[in-house]
């Protein structure tokens, strides 16, 4: 199944950058234009310069933000801002974070290299669709920098937490990094360099498939990069660095995993008319309005969100548009399960709220086509129900559809069946930050224990 290996990671020199919180970022795909500018201003060595550098007037095909990112990476290495660890290591990683309302969790995982395999091999299993434009951009960056500057997030099954136990015993006494990021999330990173521990962990992981949680575009980009390098260096063996990719692996069985909902918002749906939509939806859903006035709005919104979260095994969707004067809860009827709207779908997809929303509501009742569903200029996403409502109120969006999060076991079931969910079906929280460990892809260097 999956093959992992240690790496001699590049990390920030903390004599030069003592506060890692000033230089780390979330992955590129959750960074807004405003946040991009903020990270550029925050610190001259911020990771934004490697993952999402600013475009500049006069950029050409031969010199643009991709080449500037590569130049920054080279300069940081030469100037000692990034230092390479002396020994191959796995990096044991603990994250303490807050989950509303008022919970504190710890997510355990580790950073390593994973041998790239085609999805058909079965050792790496995706669950979401990807877009060609995004992969093209990421490939340009990877070809310019010849590096993994971001980790892919993947899950493995380990009910007894044996892997975690081996890592805790084998890690160095003191963490090589410990800091709190801007969200208050606490990060701690230890090196594991003992070869017997690394080999034991590798043997345990080799028995398991890996389920991609976050980074589908980055994984497919790494496959494309590997193929380019194999063509360029045909005599290099299977252990060449470009045959591996940087990953953060986490047990699917631990209590520290959180998936947030990904609500869908539309700037404009010309075919949407509230009354006619609710009439059509009534054939499939129980329609429960939560009416409010200015005095009761906050209380009613809280009751509405609580009711949405209380779906249990049923499928509940939320709807809000400014003209309604109410938050609307849509409860899928039991007899709707036998309707033809999902007969064409494989069974593991039947029980996903995001599929009910996409197939029945958006495609079926509203006639939204695949092109619109894949166009992030027309469909927007929020992980906070209150924020989704606010965006409708200020006129940024016409209508918001709120859903409950996909469950971890559903991700495992869909990926195990070799199936794909709609785009942005999951949002694992918190994201794995960029800047903890980097991996350079020297085509002449082999990966070894």
Residues 235-293: tens digit of each pLDDT: 999 999 999 999 999 999 998 999 999 999 998 887 789 999 999 999 999 999 999 99
Per residue in 377-400, pLDDT tens?
788 999 999 999 999 999 999 999
Whole-angstrom distance, CA of residue 410 vs CA of residue 342: 17
What confidence score (pLDDT) does residue 329 get?
Answer: 97
pLDDT over threshold 70, residue 411: yes
Report the share of the chain in percent with pLDDT over 70: 99
What global pTM score does this model have? Answer: 0.91
What confidence score (pLDDT) does residue 317 get?
Answer: 97
Whole-angstrom distance, CA of residue 192 vs CA of residue 195: 9
Give the distance, in angstroms, between the CA of residue 40 and the centroid of all CA atoms in the same chain.
22
Packing angle, helices 162-170 and 195-205, rounded to 10? 170
Whole-angstrom distance, CA of residue 268 vs CA of residue 358: 17
pLDDT over threshold 80, residue 140: yes
375 vs 330, more confident: 330
Whole-angstrom distance, CA of residue 303 vs CA of residue 214: 32
Average pLDDT, the chain: 93
What confidence score (pLDDT) does residue 130 get?
Answer: 82
Reported confidence tier of residue 74, pLDDT bands at 50, 70, 90: very high
pLDDT over threshold 90, residue 297: yes
Reported confidence tier of residue 55, pLDDT bands at 50, 70, 90: confident
By the 8 A CB rule, do 287 and 326 touch?
no
- Half-sphere exposure at residue 316, Cβ-oriented, CA atoms within 13 angstroms: 20
Residues facing residue 248 across a β-bridge:
111, 153
Per residue in 331-348, pLDDT tens?
999 887 656 777 788 888
Per residue in 143-167, pLDDT tens?
999 999 999 999 999 999 999 999 9
Report the share of the chain in percent with pLDDT over 90: 78
By the 8 A CB rule, do 316 and 330 touch?
yes
pLDDT over threshold 80, residue 101: no
What confidence score (pLDDT) does residue 338 get?
Answer: 57
Return the closest-CA partner of residue 9 out of 108, 147, 206, 201: 147
The three-state secondary structure class of 171 is coil
Question: Around Cβ 290, how many Cβ atoms within 10 Å?
Answer: 21
Per residue in 91-100, pLDDT tens?
999 999 998 7
Per residue in 163-196, pLDDT tens?
999 999 999 999 999 999 988 999 999 999 999 9
Site of tokens 């990270």: 39
Site of tokens 């500037």: 68
pLDDT over threshold 60, residue 227: yes
């Amino acid at each position: 199944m999956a093959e992992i290996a240690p790496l001699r990671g590049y990390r920030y020199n903390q004599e030069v950058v003592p506060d890692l919180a000033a230089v780390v970022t979330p992955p590129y795909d959750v960074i807004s234009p405003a946040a991009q500018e903020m990270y550029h201003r925050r610190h001259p060595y911020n990771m934004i310069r490697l993952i999402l550098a600013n475009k500049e007037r006069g950029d050409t095909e031969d010199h643009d933000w991709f080449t500037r990112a590569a130049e920054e990476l080279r300069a940081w290495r030469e100037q000692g801002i990034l230092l390479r660890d002396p020994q191959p290591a796995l990096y044991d990683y603990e994250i303490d974070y807050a989950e509303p309302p008022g919970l504190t969790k710890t997510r355990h995982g580790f950073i390593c290299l994973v041998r790239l395999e085609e999805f058909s091999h079965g050792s790496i299993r995706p669950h979401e669709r990807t877009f060609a434009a995004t992969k093209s951009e990421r490939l340009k960056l990877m070809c310019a920098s010849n590096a993994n500057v971001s980790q892919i997030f993947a899950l493995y099954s380990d009910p007894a937490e044996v892997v975690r136990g081996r890592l805790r015993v084998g890690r160095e006494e003191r963490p090589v990094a410990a800091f709190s990021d801007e969200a208050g999330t606490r990060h701690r990173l230890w090196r594991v360099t003992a070869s017997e521990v690394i080999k034991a962990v590798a043997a345990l992981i080799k028995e398991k498939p890996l389920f991609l949680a976050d980074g589908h575009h980055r994984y497919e980009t790494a496959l494309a990069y590997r193929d380019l390098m194999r063509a360029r260096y045909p005599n290099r063996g299977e252990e060449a660095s470009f045959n591996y990719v940087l990953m953060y692996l986490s047990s699917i069985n631990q209590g520290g995993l959180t998936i947030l909902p990904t609500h869908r918002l539309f700037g404009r749906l010309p075919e949407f008319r509230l009354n006619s939509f609710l009439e059509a939806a009534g054939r499939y859903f129980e329609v429960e309005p939560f009416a409010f006035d200015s005095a009761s709005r906050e209380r009613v919104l809280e009751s509405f969100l609580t009711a949405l979260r209380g779906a249990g095994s049923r499928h509940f969707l939320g709807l809000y548009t400014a003209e309604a004067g109410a938050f609307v809860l849509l409860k899928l009827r039991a007899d709707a399960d036998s309707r033809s709207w999902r007969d064409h779908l494989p069974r593991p997809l039947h029980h996903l709220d995001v599929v009910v929303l996409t197939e029945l509501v958006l495609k079926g009742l509203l006639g939204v086509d695949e092109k619109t569903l894949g166009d992030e200029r027309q469909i927007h996403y929020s992980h906070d129900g209150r924020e989704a409502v606010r965006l409708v109120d200020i006129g940024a969006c016409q209508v918001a559809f709120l859903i409950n999060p996909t469950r971890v076991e559903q991700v495992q079931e869909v990926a195990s069946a070799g199936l794909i969910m709609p785009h942005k079906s999951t949002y694992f929280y918190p994201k794995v930050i960029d800047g903890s460990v980097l991996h350079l892809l020297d085509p002449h260097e082999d990966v070894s224990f």
